[in-house]
Structure formats: structure tokens, C-alpha cells
């Protein structure tokens, strides 16, 4: 009777344990499912690695027209956006003072010419007298010196006259040095302009045309190594936010500029101006093409930064560890699981076990060995993007003594049943929003977690 009673008690306790364990599993599953996650499907696409900067659009071949003379503007013949030809009259200075200056220099020239002729006659006369010994060598030398001085004064007067004539006939007229278009006009009739001083007036700014433009972009010293001549460029301007323009790098200037302890280098970009939409002075947001890959597996960058709550992560990692050692004998598995739990516990107190480390965010135990090969579609851990290799430890015997190492970056997957699994992926290039996954076929169609729902 006692035996039957004992058997009944044993069965009751066994059923209670099973029910309790099942209840814990169900509750744990329900607690996990209560957590909401935002996910995105792993898919193929194109990733473009870019370097971004800003720059200013300028007209290519622009010329600033200055004044050679100080004076008052008498007439202006062109306006903004006018097309001009080389040698065309753009503006004129008042010539009244220039005409008076020319007349003054003309009089000075005639006076200098008369003195030179007089000095020449005196010298010729004294030369004849000296040949007849009627004049000393000293007197002859003096007359020769007077003649040379008069010739120099004549030459100086001739130069002054030519300068006055050029000012009147040429420099008083502001002519276009190129065929082009007037971008800027800074003068009006009656305005005084100044030459050869610190306040030189820029009368006009001309450009050869607006069909070819150039951008002066400032590139940070961190990114300048990725820029090369001939590199393709894409840019936008706020004036046409829905339009994208293209160009090519023509020059990388080696002289840096420093502002607020930030070192930049000027990169000159050539660009066409379709439909003449772009205007000089516009600010361009520039993207330099560093690398481009098409039809690659990619995941959101947010997925690489996401980590689930600590309790969920602990459950997933322990399950993964159990799968890694599933091929070992029962006693060995129990020993390693015990060491794993101790490692997690001591790791949380800041006192890691000397025999247990962390790889890929998950504790590992020497002797755990290589996990069995898994198909890309089986299990929660998946080996399609998780690379494993053995490293033989000191004193280890056999293949089972290696340390399974996880290469790559962890991502978290939301399974169809609402549970979470962990994968490790090797990444490639990024465009700032998405990152390439190398050999990511096993991730096709999976829901990668990017954040928790609020």
C-alpha cells in the first residue's frame, strides 16, 4: 500500500514538474512575444559609397574687368546678362581732364624738342671750334652733356605724351577682353572709379559662357584620400531640389584651409549646365562616388546597432551555445553548460572566469569544439553568414578542444513564431543607410530587427 502511495506521489511530482516546466516555457515565450519589434526584410539592391561635401558654383573662365584710370563714368553701354564680343565697348570715362592732360603733354613735348635742337646746334658749333683749337676740351664736354640731357628730356616728354594719348584714346574706353556674358555690373553713370589703390573698382565680371561651370568643394581631411581626379560626382542645389546634376573632379588643390581646427582641401569639379538652370554663386551639396555595387544583399544600418533586452539576448545566446555543443556527450555538455552559466554570472559582476571568454558577444568555453555544420535554412543560429574556425589551445587534445570563433557583426532576426535569433554577418560598403552583407544568401527574406516598437 505504501509502495502504491509512493508511486502515486512520484507520478504527481513528475507531472507537476513537467507542467511547471511547460508553463515556464510558455510564459517565457509569451513574455518574449510581448516585446514589439520593427523589422525590415533583407533584400538585394544597389549601394553607393559616397563622400559628401558642399561647394560653390562658379562660372568657368570668368574675368573681372577693372579700370586703368581714376575718373568719372560718363557712359555705360551694357547691363546684366548681356552677351558681349571681344573688344566691344562696355563703358567710357569722362575725357575732359584726359584731353587737357594730353594738350599739356603735347606742349611739354614741343618745348623739349626745341631745347634738344638748340643743344644739338650748340654742340655742333663747339665741335668745329675745338677742331681749330679755339675751344677747350672741357667746354666741348660741357656742351655734349647739355645735349644728352636735352635728348633725355625729349624722350621723357615723348613717353608722357604717348601715355596721355593712350589714356584718352584707349584706357578711357572700357572694352571687353573676351566673348562672353555680363554676370556683374558694379558701375553707373556719374560714379567715380579708382585705379592703382587699395580700393580698385571692379567694373564688370564676365564669363565665357554658362554652359560650362565649375564647383569649388571643400573636402574634409578625413575623406580627401578617397578623392581622385576624373572621379564622378553628383550634386544638388536648393533651387532645384528634385534635380540631380553630374560632374567630374578636375583638380585637387594641395594647399589646405583651416577653420575652427577643421582642415579642408579644395576640390575643383567641372560640370555641364543643362538648360542653363544653374547660376554662379549657388551652393551645391556634392557627393563623390567612391564605390558602387549592384544587386548585393543589404541590411539597414540600424540593424547593426540594435540589441534586444538583456534577458532576451541571454536566452538566445544560451540556446546558441547549447546548439554548438549538442554533438558532445551528455556529461561533457553538462560540464560546459555549467561553465557557461558561471561565465555569464561572473562576467556580469566584472570578474570574468580565466577559462571563459567572450566571442561575438557570447561566452565561449575552451573545449566546446566546432559546432556541427548546419544548412542555411535550419536552426535559429544559422551558419550561412556565421563563420566558425578552430584555434587549438595550449594543452588541448583533439579537434574538440578548439575554440569556436564568431566572425563579423551580430544582427537579430525575428522568426515567424515571434522568437528572436542571432546571426553574425560580414559587411562590405555602406551608403550611410544600408550596408552590404557579404555572402548573405541565407538571409534572403528574413526579418531583421532595426528597433523596438514604442
**pTM metric for this prediction:** 0.61
The DSSP symbol for 225 reads: G
What is the structure's pLDDT at 380?
Answer: 40
What is the structure's pLDDT at 170?
Answer: 92
Q: In whole angstroms, how far apart are CA 2 and each of 5, 12, 16, 142?
A: 5, 15, 21, 159
Q: Could you give the CA distance from residue 26 to residue 30 in angstroms, rounded to a whole number?
A: 6
For the chain, the structural domain boundaries read 35-45+301-452, 50-60+207-291, 73-199
Q: Could you give the CA distance from residue 213 to residue 211 in angstroms, rounded to a whole number?
A: 7
What is the structure's pLDDT at 37?
Answer: 92
Q: Exposed (0-12), middle (13-18) or buried (19+): which is 335, by Cβ within 10 Å?
A: middle
What is the structure's pLDDT at 30?
Answer: 42
Give strand pairing partners of 410.
424
Mean pLDDT by 10 residues, the chain (454 residues): 46 38 36 71 92 94 90 94 94 94 95 95 92 89 94 96 94 93 93 76 89 95 95 96 95 94 96 90 96 92 91 87 88 89 69 40 45 39 38 31 56 90 91 90 91 85
What is the structure's pLDDT at 209?
Answer: 85
Tell me which H or E stretch contains 112: helix 96-131
Contact 387, 393 (CB under 8 A): no
Fold that domain 50-60+207-291 belongs to in CATH? Elongation Factor Tu (Ef-tu); domain 3 (2.40.30)
Q: In whole angstroms, how far apart are CA 215 and each of 55, 84, 208, 283, 425?
A: 6, 24, 16, 9, 40
Amino acid at each position: 500500500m505504501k509502495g502504491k502511495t509512493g508511486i502515486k506521489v512520484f507520478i504527481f511530482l513528475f507531472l507537476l514538474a513537467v507542467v511547471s516546466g511547460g508553463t515556464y516555457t510558455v510564459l517565457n515565450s509569451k513574455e518574449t512575444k510581448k516585446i514589439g519589434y520593427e523589422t525590415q526584410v533583407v533584400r538585394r539592391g544597389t549601394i553607393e559609397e559616397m563622400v559628401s561635401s558642399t561647394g560653390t558654383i562658379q562660372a568657368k573662365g570668368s574675368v573681372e574687368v577693372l579700370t586703368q584710370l581714376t575718373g568719372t563714368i560718363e557712359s555705360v553701354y551694357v547691363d546684366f546678362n548681356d552677351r558681349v564680343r571681344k573688344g566691344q565697348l562696355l563703358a567710357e570715362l569722362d575725357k575732359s581732364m584726359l584731353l587737357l592732360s594730353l594738350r599739356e603733354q603735347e606742349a611739354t613735348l614741343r618745348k623739349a624738342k626745341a631745347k634738344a635742337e638748340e643743344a644739338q646746334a650748340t654742340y655742333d658749333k663747339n665741335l668745329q671750334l675745338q677742331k681749330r683749337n679755339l675751344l677747350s676740351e672741357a667746354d666741348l664736354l660741357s656742351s655734349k652733356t647739355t645735349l644728352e640731357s636735352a635728348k633725355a628730356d625729349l624722350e621723357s616728354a615723348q613717353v608722357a605724351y604717348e601715355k596721355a594719348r593712350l589714356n584718352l584714346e584707349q584706357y578711357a574706353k572700357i572694352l571687353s577682353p573676351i566673348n562672353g556674358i555680363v554676370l556683374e555690373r558694379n558701375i553707373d553713370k556719374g560714379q567715380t572709379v579708382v585705379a592703382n589703390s587699395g580700393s580698385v573698382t571692379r567694373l564688370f565680371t564676365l564669363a565665357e559662357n554658362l554652359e560650362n561651370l565649375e564647383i569649388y568643394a571643400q573636402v574634409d581631411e578625413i575623406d580627401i584620400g578617397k578623392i581622385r581626379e576624373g572621379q564622378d560626382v553628383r550634386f544638388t542645389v536648393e533651387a532645384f531640389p528634385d534635380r540631380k546634376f553630374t560632374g567630374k573632379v578636375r583638380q585637387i588643390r594641395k594647399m589646405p584651409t583651416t577653420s575652427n581646427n577643421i582642415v579642408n582641401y579644395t576640390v575643383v569639379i567641372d560640370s555641364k549646365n543643362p538648360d542653363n538652370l544653374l547660376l554662379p554663386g549657388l551652393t551645391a551639396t556634392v557627393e563623390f562616388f567612391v564605390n558602387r555595387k549592384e544587386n548585393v544583399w543589404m541590411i539597414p544600418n540600424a540593424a547593426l546597432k540594435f540589441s534586444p533586452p538583456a534577458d532576451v539576448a541571454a536566452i538566445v545566446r544560451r540556446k546558441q551555445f547549447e546548439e554548438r555543443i549538442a554533438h558532445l556527450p551528455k556529461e561533457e555538455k553538462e560540464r560546459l553548460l555549467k561553465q557557461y552559466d558561471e561565465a555569464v554570472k561572473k562576467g556580469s559582476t566584472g570578474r570574468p572566469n580565466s577559462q571563459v571568454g567572450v566571442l561575438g558577444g557570447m561566452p565561449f568555453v575552451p573545449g566546446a569544439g566546432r559546432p556541427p555544420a548546419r544548412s542555411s535554412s535550419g536552426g535559429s543560429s544559422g551558419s550561412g553568414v556565421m563563420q566558425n574556425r578552430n584555434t587549438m589551445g595550449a594543452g588541448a587534445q583533439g579537434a574538440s578542444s578548439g575554440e569556436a570563433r564568431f566572425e563579423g557583426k551580430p544582427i537579430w532576426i525575428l522568426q515567424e513564431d515571434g522568437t528572436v535569433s542571432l546571426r553574425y554577418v560580414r559587411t562590405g560598403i555602406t551608403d550611410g543607410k544600408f550596408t552590404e552583407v557579404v555572402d548573405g544568401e541565407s538571409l534572403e527574406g528574413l526579418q531583421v530587427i532595426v528597433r523596438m516598437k514604442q
